[in-house]
Amino acid sequence: MKRTLFRNQLLPWLLLAPQLIITFVFFLWPAAQAVRQSFLREDAFGTRTSFVGFDNFKALWSSAEYMNSLQVTAVFAISVTVLSMGLSLLLAIAVDRMIKSARVYSTLLVWPYAVAPAVAGILWWFIFNPTIGIMPYVLSQLGYNWNHISDKGDAMTLVVIASAWKQISYNFLFFLAGLQAIPASLREAAAIDGAGPVRRFFDITFPLLSPTTFFLLVVNIVYAMFDTFGVIDATTEGGPAQATNILVYKVYFDGFVGQNLGSSAAQSVVLMMLVLVLTVIQFRYVEKKVEY
Amino acid sequence: MIENRPGLNLLAHLTLILGVCIVALPVWVAFVASTHGPTDFMSGTIPMWPGPHLVENYSRMLGGGLSTSGTPPVGTMMLNSLIMALSIAVGKIAISVLSAFAVVYFRFPLRGLAFWCIFVTLMLPVEVRIVPTFQVVADLGMLNSYAGLSIPLIASATATFLFRQVFLTIPDELTEAARIDGAGPMKFFRDILLPLSRTNIAALFVILFIYGWNQYLWPLLITTSSDYYTIVAGIKRMADAVDGLPQWHLVMATAMLAMIPPVVVVIGMQRLFVKGLVETEK
């Protein structure tokens, strides 16, 4: 906290005004609307709205489609997180061994961060295109008939790969920073005691890396749940047969395409609570990190 | 490195080379596709080496666009993306730097409430409250405008926290010295705080520029007039609009053009980019 302060009373409000006005108009007000809307139901013609209590939420809970979407989101988020973090950790460990070439490799690995999720989706959609793509051709040589337009598993694999690919650079940078923060003396001591590289990794490196790993776990789950809208919309649009219809996509689809405002608002409220939980987890972790 | 193990070094290099190739694969394929003519996609698999149509495809997209899909020339869409990305980056930095200054250097009633209001925005990504936000912007008559594209996205708790962190590390002696010399708050802000946070502002700018450029859902919803299409949102329309087979060579040329500006920013300003990434996550 600052000891020296300025004494004006009006000035701070003027300085805060732009941020507060935008926050109120575009964040708090719409969020309040979503909460209000989630307790209302419009009739078929949109002329009358009535208060229905928790009916919209109850309807979600008993909707097979929503339960499917929850499950799809969980599978999707876990797959993206595991795939992307696994590959990035491997690459970060390899770069950590390098002395001269570390910078060159880093540069070659960080740029996908800059690619928009929607563009990443289009790129992989093209590679996996059943008629002209390379991957289906390679897979057919191996005896697998790839078709993400009709096969649920293939569609999920495609969106997972596209989303994980984009996130590799982010995870790589944080893992590399985490690895480089581990004192070399610890690993040297273990080496002198006769521990081989594998043993050193599991007994020293990996435990000391756990704050980074935990932080990335939360960030990746948030990414997979909320930032992958572009990937889904540019490729599968939730299909085939709801196989890739993750929660954020469903909110948009039910609200704008399906025009089911009450249900979409209830879904918004559920999602906001999810973000709230994830943010709290992230912040508690950050507080701990400060104490280290 | 702890000990010299040539075998492991070789393995590490092989892993990295393979990793770099996997990471680069989709972009290489897109680049190759963007250099071919339309007939090269009819016969089975896509080619793996660049063809002769590079200049022709790119100049066609930049100047003319795909008339069949109702999208404007890619040049126009890139300009829209640039305006949007710059407005978001500059806007976010401007309002966050001011509000962080207010929160750190003043004590006033309801300061906690104000801080809390900003904090809440962390929990409300635009995707989760998309329908009511769209409603507000429509009611304000901001559809199809640059203001509608950028202003709703510029409130940011992350940037405010970052500047708050930076300001808290600036020694009190500087503030005292400035006050003894008779400087008011705004003069202190302009002549001392801003210059001292220059690198933080630059690092944040890199991150926010990429964030703004890569926006997808928001521009897709609020632009119905093709004059305001951004390139990232436009590609989808292009890949969709042509019935049956999209013209892949042109779609991929557009995808390349959509990627080039942010990728150049990341590679060209790698140090600032890494700094910005690490700082915004603290």
From the CA of B66, how many Å to the nearest CA of chain A? 17
Check A109 against B20: CB less than 8 A apart.
yes
Please check whether residue B255 is in contact with residue B30, taking contact to mean a CB–CB distance below 8 angstroms.
yes
Q: Does B152 touch chain A (CB under 8 A)?
A: yes
DSSP string across A173-193: HHHHHHHHTS-HHHHHHHHHT
pLDDT value of position B2 = 62
Q: Tell me what the mean pLDDT of segment B223-230 comes to.
A: 85
Task: Report which residue type is found at B11.
Answer: L
Phi, psi of A40 (to 5 degrees): -115, 160
| Of residues A84, A66, A279, the one with CA closest to residue A174 | A84
For residue B178, the domain's CATH number is: 1.10.3720.10
- Distance between A116 CA and the closest CA of chain B, angstroms: 5
Would you say residue B253 lies in a domain?
A: yes
Cβ–Cβ < 8 Å for B270, B254: no
Q: Which residues share a beta bridge with A49?
A: A42
> Is residue B44, in this structure, part of any structural domain at all?
yes
- The 3-class secondary structure across B101-149, one letter per residue, is HHHHHECCCCHHHHHHHHHHHHHCCHHHHHHHHHHHHHHCCCCCCHHHH
Query: A243 near A237, Cβ under 8 Å?
Result: no
**B19 falls within a domain:** no
| Residues composing chain A | 292
**Residue A112's domain spans which residues?**
68-291
In a domain, A199, yes or no: yes
Contact B132 A132 (CB under 8 A): no
Residue type for position A266: A
B204: left (phi over 0), alpha (psi -120 to 50) or beta: alpha
CB–CB of A31 and B132 under 8 A? yes
A22·B125 Cβ contact <8 A: no
What is the C-alpha separation between B21 and B32, in angstroms, rounded? Answer: 15
For chain B, the domain total comes to 1
Rounded Cα distance between A192 and A155, Å, is: 50
In a domain, B219, yes or no: yes
Contact B115, A17 (CB under 8 A): no
Residue B66 lies in a domain: yes
Q: Which residues of B touch A35 (CB under 8 A)?
A: none
Could you list the residue range(s) of the whole structural domain that residue B231 is in? 34-280
- Write the pLDDT tens digit of every residue in B128-155: 788 888 889 999 988 888 988 999 888 7
- The predicted pLDDT at position A184 comes to 85
pLDDT computed for residue B244 by the predictor: 58
Residue A219, min C-alpha distance to chain B (Å): 9
Report the distance separating Cα A248 and Cα A270, nearest Å: 11
Q: Report the alpha-carbon distance of residue B36 to residue B57 in Å, rounded.
A: 8
Q: Which residue of A has its CA nearest to B170?
A: A2
Residue B28 lies in a domain: no
* Residue from B5, B42, B119, B123 to probe the interface with A (highest A Cβ count within 10 Å): B123
Give the residue-averaged pLDDT of B199-223: 91
Distance (Å) from the alpha carbon of A101 to chain B's nearest alpha carbon: 9
Asked if the interface predicted TM-score (ipTM) of this complex is over 0.90, the answer is no
Q: What is the pLDDT of residues B53-80, one digit of tens each?
A: 777 778 777 777 666 566 778 888 899 9
- Give the model's pLDDT for residue B30: 87
Cβ within 8 Å, pair B20-A2: no
Indicate yes or no: CB of A6 within 8 angstroms of CB of B105: yes
Instruction: Tell me the chain B residues in contact with residue A107 when contact means C-beta distances shorter than 8 Å.
Output: 267, 270
Inter-residue long-range contacts of A64-71, CB under 8 Å, 24+ positions, other chains counted = A65/A242, A65/A245, A65/A250, A66/A250, A66/A267, A68/A242, A68/A245, A69/A242, A69/A245, A69/A246, A69/A247, A69/A250, A70/A247
Q: Tell me the CA end-to-end span of chain A in Å, nearest whole number.
A: 20
C-alpha to C-alpha distance for B18 and B29, rounded to whole angstroms = 16
Q: What is the CATH number of the domain that holds A205?
A: 1.10.3720.10
Q: In whole angstroms, what is the distance from residue A178 CA to residue A212 CA? A: 6
> In sequence order, what DSSP letters do the residues of chain B get, joined into one string?
--S--HHHHHHHHHHHHHHHHHHHHHHHHHHHHTTS-GGGGTSSSPPSS--S-HHHHHHHHHHT--GGGTPPPHHHHHHHHHHHHHHHHHHHHHHHHHHHHHHHHB--TTHHHHHHHHHHGGG--GGGGHHHHHHHHHHTT-TTSHHHHHGGG---HHHHHHHHHHHHTS-HHHHHHHHHTT--HHHHIIIIIHHHTHHHHHHHHHHHHHHHHT--HHHHHH--SGGG--HHHHHHHHHHHSSSS--HHHHHHHHHHHHHHHHHHHHHTHHHHHHHHHHHT-
Could you give the CA distance from residue B20 to residue B24 in angstroms, rounded to a whole number? Answer: 6
Q: Report B:54-93 residues touching A (Cβ under 8 A).
A: none
Q: B152 and A3 in contact by Cβ < 8 A?
A: no
Q: Is the peptide bond before A240 cis (omega within 30 degrees of 0)?
A: yes
Give the whole-angstrom CA distance, residue B146 versus residue B175.
39
The pLDDT tens digits for A204-234 are 888 889 888 988 998 899 899 988 999 999 8
Alpha carbon distance A230, A126 (integer Å): 15
> Which amino acid belongs to residue A260?
N
Q: Name residue, tokens 């436009």.
A: B234
Per-residue pLDDT of chain A (292 residues; tens, 9 = 90+): 676 788 888 899 999 999 999 999 988 888 888 888 888 887 666 667 778 888 888 888 888 889 999 999 999 999 999 999 999 999 999 999 888 888 899 989 999 999 999 999 999 988 888 877 888 888 888 888 888 888 889 999 999 999 999 999 999 999 999 998 888 888 888 888 888 888 888 888 888 898 889 889 988 998 999 889 999 998 888 878 888 999 999 988 888 887 788 888 899 889 888 888 888 887 776 555 433 3
Q: Are A246 and A72 in contact (CB under 8 A)?
A: yes
The number of domains in chain A is 1
Sorted by sequence, the CB contacts under 8 Å of residue B157 that are 6+ apart come out as B118, B119, B120, B121, B122
Partner A contacted by B137 (CB < 8 A): yes
